[in-house]
Structure 1
Amino acid sequence: MPRTFDGATGPVAGRFAIVVSRYNENVTGKLLQGAIETLTQAGIADDDIDVAWVPGAWEIPLIAQRMAETGHYAAVLNLGAVIRGETTHDEHINRQVSLSLGELSLVTGVPMLFGVLTVNSLEQAIHRSGGNVGNKGMECAEAALQMVRLLAQLPE
């Protein structure tokens, strides 16, 4: 029988960083609330959660990098809401933020969770931040918990 690693269940410990965009705060605030609720329900103390607010999604990777490089965090959750407009501006932001966070995860060895909504309308963002599609902030936190558990199981 092969050895299996699975971070879906079990205890989790460590500090968690959350980088959240202030742009579209009516949406990102709900993502943040969902993420914090999920982490605390899993046993993470409020004092072990640090939140950094940035102006917009574009600024998320720099602060995520700084937080990861401190060595204090088991994972960095990144929350934002980029809503399509009349131009392709959203595509450039979404592409660069996602690529940067993916690279940071590999370079730092710290899980970078992508909780940035990339939606076509405010209505879609509302549905994904606690509406009828759920709360992607909660899903981001659940993925962070699983990654931290999984990394703890893997041999070094």
Structure 2
Amino acid sequence: MATQLKNLSDFSNTTIPSGAPYRFGIVVAEWNAKITGALYGGAYQSLIDNGVLADNIFTYAVPGSFELTSGADILLKNKNLDGVICLGCVIQGETRHFDFICAAVANGATNVALKYEKPVIFGVLTTDNEQQAIDRAGGKHGNKGVEAAVTAIKMADMAAQLKTD
């Protein structure tokens, strides 16, 4: 089914484990604040709705999406967390800046995850225009922040299960 025809934040076909035992960091880019604020609201509420205690959610803002990976690294170095959710929005402009930022953040999140052996979730919208971002930050295509939170819970739960096996 084409993306334009579905809500990407529908988890009715999967089981989401309880987030109660876990602690998460959320790093949010201040750039495109209207969009990243909506992503954050979705992520935070999804963590709460799935059992994560408010006291176990640590939120920090960074200037832009490029700084998300550094923020995730600092969080994992200084807090005992089960994962970090990176939330940002990069909208295509007239230059290649978009390509460099998107690639750097995606690669950086992967590198931080591997460095700490903890999930670092890429909740960054990479859209052609602002309307596409709005549609994915609580609009007709759901909320990528919700998806990032569910992914964080599922990955933390997987790591915990494998530690006990």
TM-score greater than 0.5 by the shorter chain: yes
1:51-78 per-position Cα deviation (integer Å, ceiling 9, x unaligned):
1000100111111001112251111000
Contact kept, 8 Å, 2:39 with 2:87, in 1: the verdict is yes
Q: Tell me which residue corresponds to 1:140.
A: 148
Amino acid at match of 1:132: K
Q: Give the CA RMSD over aligned residues.
A: 1.4
Q: Tell me which residue corresponds to 1:114.
A: 122
Are residue 127 (structure 1) and residue 127 (structure 2) matched?
A: no
Residue in structure 2 matching 1:74, options 68, 82, 87: 82
Q: Percent identity?
A: 37
Structure 2: state its 5+ residue gaps: 1-13
Counterparts of 1:93 and 1:147 in 2: how far apart (Å)? 25
Residue in structure 1 matching 2:41, options 29, 33, 40: 33
Q: Tell me which residue corresponds to 1:24.
A: 32
Structure 1: state its 5+ residue gaps: 1-6
Counterparts of 1:75 and 1:117 in 2: how far apart (Å)? 19
Q: Tell me which residue corresponds to 1:64.
A: 72
Residue in structure 2 matching 1:50, options 58, 69, 76: 58
1:14 to partner: Cα distance = 2.0
Q: TM-score when scaled to structure 1? A: 0.92
* Residues 71, 8 of structure 1: alpha-carbon distance in 2 compared, 3 angstrom cutoff: farther
Counterparts of 1:144 and 1:58 in 2: how far apart (Å)? 20
Contact kept, 8 Å, 1:8 with 1:149, in 2: the verdict is no
Task: State the number of aligned residues.
Answer: 150
Following TM superposition, where does structure 1 have runs of at least 4 consecutive aligned residues deviating by more than 2 angstroms?
7-12
Secondary structure of 1:82's counterpart equals strand
Residue in structure 1 matching 2:98, options 62, 67, 90: 90
Q: Tell me which residue corresponds to 1:3.
A: none
Counterparts of 1:117 and 1:96 in 2: how far apart (Å)? 14
Secondary structure of 1:14's counterpart equals coil
Contact kept, 8 Å, 1:58 with 1:97, in 2: the verdict is yes
* Residues 103, 11 of structure 1: alpha-carbon distance in 2 compared, 3 angstrom cutoff: same
Counterparts of 1:129 and 1:63 in 2: how far apart (Å)? 21
Q: TM-score when scaled to structure 2? A: 0.87
1:9 to partner: Cα distance = 4.0
